Amino acid sequence: MRFLRDIIGLMRTPAGRSKFLSAWNYASFPLMWPVGALYRRLVLRRTRIVAVVGSLGKTTTLASVAAALRVPHRARDNANSWSEVVWCLLRVRPAATRAALEVGIAKPGQMRWYAWMLRPQVTVVTSIASDHNRSLPTLEVTRMEKAAMVRALGREGLAVLNGDDSNVLWMRGQTHARVITFGFGPENDVRAEDWQIDWPHGARFTVRIGTRSWLVRSRLFGRHMVYPFLAALAVADAEGADMDAAVAAFASMEPVYGRMELFHLPGGAWILADDYKASQESLFTALEAFGEMPAPRRLAVLGEVNEPVGSQHKLYREVGRQAGRHAARIILCGGGKLKNARTGAIRAGVKPENVTISSTMTVLEIAALLEKELRPGDLLLVKGRTDQRLRRVVLKLQGRPVRCTIPLCHLNGLDCDHCPMLERGWEGIRAVT
């Protein structure tokens, strides 16, 4: 009976119906996968497909590759699992010479189905990290699984690998295809040099391929946001695309939703929204980038870590320590484990009264607290676990009406900016997500 009540509860709201469609995306894969495979072999047999895989950075890399190759790309094209991948493939026009798709996995055995369906000519591997560590328990297991898309390449194919990530570079031995590496290290085929922040516009850096070089201007912040452009230029160069046009396209490319987005508030403060998810690697990377940005005062709203690895006590103490190195004011959103983060922040030098654990505060109460504290020139980092939906704090500070205050939301494929429940709220409705 409870299951039936949940189904009825889901179908009563637009957000719930979105959840139902997400479940259908998973359940329909055995039916849709053969359709995608046939479409690839019969309709797209002349189309060169670029597959983007990896633990972190896939969506921004996909957007960069699409810009460099000048192939169609929509925000929703980063739908990267189960039947969503099939639908992305089916949207590729029959006459297309090239297409780029993102592929994500959550368990062993999944990638080989995508690889067999897509038959890529080019595979880009961005990184190997701890995402989905409950089903992919070690980095070795993760790299072995993701390497299936590299193994799918023929001898005439191309593997574009992050040469600064040893687990990605390991995949060089998993293919007979040509390999191009990218990164900051001097041994990489496509490498970045002289990276500098261009506040508040983004960053600039030099890309070198052999004896050639280009000055790249980007609207994306953080050294880690250079890797997508390097991967894209590696693909563009190998595919014979116009490199100058690719570099020019990067200058106007906006950040992907929830990844290092910079917003200027009417009162003069800045928000760095990196709220899409918070694996431990992406959290520490965001804090490092946050600390490099010039600001008279930095504040941070930090949630919990997605699928933490190892001792959570040690992990959260380190989160607090890293946050305390860069922020003078910290609001921690979540459960009792964040007491360790508070301890770490205080040990890093933050005054105890400037570290708040908001275990019972709603997103509206957090936003109200910040509205009183933010001053012109301040920089606020917002980052937390996906289902905490800390994006609502950003939207409230921007002046959007926010009435959704549920503590956790498990809706997939529907961001807060466009969720019909954001302004409607759940009053009088059973919140089933």
Instruction: State pLDDT tens for residues 161-180.
Output: 999 999 999 999 999 999 99
Query: What's residue 2's pLDDT?
Result: 54
Cα→Cα distances 267→301, 319, 364, 373, Å: 18, 29, 18, 11
167-181, 237-251, 301-315: which has the minimum mean pLDDT? 301-315
Instruction: List all residues 6 or more positions away from 97 whose beta carbon is below 8 Å from its beta carbon.
Output: 46, 47, 48
1-10, 21-30, 149-158, 398-407: which has the minimum mean pLDDT? 1-10
Residue 413, CB-side half-sphere exposure with 13 Å CA sphere: 23
Residue 39 clears pLDDT 70, i.e. is over it = yes
Confidence class for position 412, pLDDT limits 50, 70, 90: confident
Query: What's residue 411's pLDDT?
Result: 84
H-helix segments, 328-390: 338-347, 363-373
Supply the pTM of this predicted model. 0.95
CA gap 197, 173 in Å, rounded:
36
Residue 17 clears pLDDT 80, i.e. is over it = no
Instruction: List all residues 6 or more positions away from 323 whose beta carbon is below 8 Å from its beta carbon.
Output: 287, 300, 302, 330, 341, 344, 345, 348, 350
Percent of the chain with pLDDT over 70: 94
Handedness of CA 214, 215, 221, 222 (dihedral sign): positive
CA gap 111, 113 in Å, rounded:
5
Query: What's residue 1's pLDDT?
Result: 44
CA gap 385, 278 in Å, rounded:
5
Residue 6 clears pLDDT 70, i.e. is over it = no
Stretch 134-158: mean pLDDT: 97
Residue 339 clears pLDDT 50, i.e. is over it = yes
Stretch 304-312: mean pLDDT: 91
Query: What's residue 21's pLDDT?
Result: 75
H-helix segments, 239-348: 243-251, 280-292, 312-326, 338-347
H-helix segments, 28-152: 29-38, 58-69, 83-90, 110-118, 139-146, 148-151
Percent of the chain with pLDDT over 90: 85
Residue 4 clears pLDDT 60, i.e. is over it = no
Residue 208 clears pLDDT 70, i.e. is over it = yes
Residue 369 clears pLDDT 90, i.e. is over it = yes
Tokens of 281: 């690697």
Residue 126 clears pLDDT 70, i.e. is over it = yes
Per the prediction, the chain carries an average pLDDT of 94
Cα angle: 32, vertex 37, 43; to 5 degrees: 115
Stretch 118-133: mean pLDDT: 96
Residue 310 clears pLDDT 60, i.e. is over it = yes
Stretch 424-430: mean pLDDT: 83
Domain ranges of the chain: 44-251, 261-402
Tokens of 316: 């959260």
Query: What's residue 9's pLDDT?
Result: 60
Query: What's residue 77's pLDDT?
Result: 47
Query: What's residue 216's pLDDT?
Result: 99
CA gap 82, 25 in Å, rounded:
6
Fold of 44-251: UDP-N-acetylmuramoyl-L-alanine:D-glutamate ligase (3.40.1190)
* Structural domain 261-402, CATH architecture: Alpha-Beta Complex (3.90)
> Tens digits of per-residue pLDDT, 214-223?
999 999 999 9
With contact defined as beta carbons under 8 Å apart, do 257 and 415 qualify?
yes
CA gap 149, 120 in Å, rounded:
8
Instruction: List all residues 6 or more positions away from 262 whose beta carbon is below 8 Å from its beta carbon.
Output: 200, 221, 255, 270, 271, 272, 273
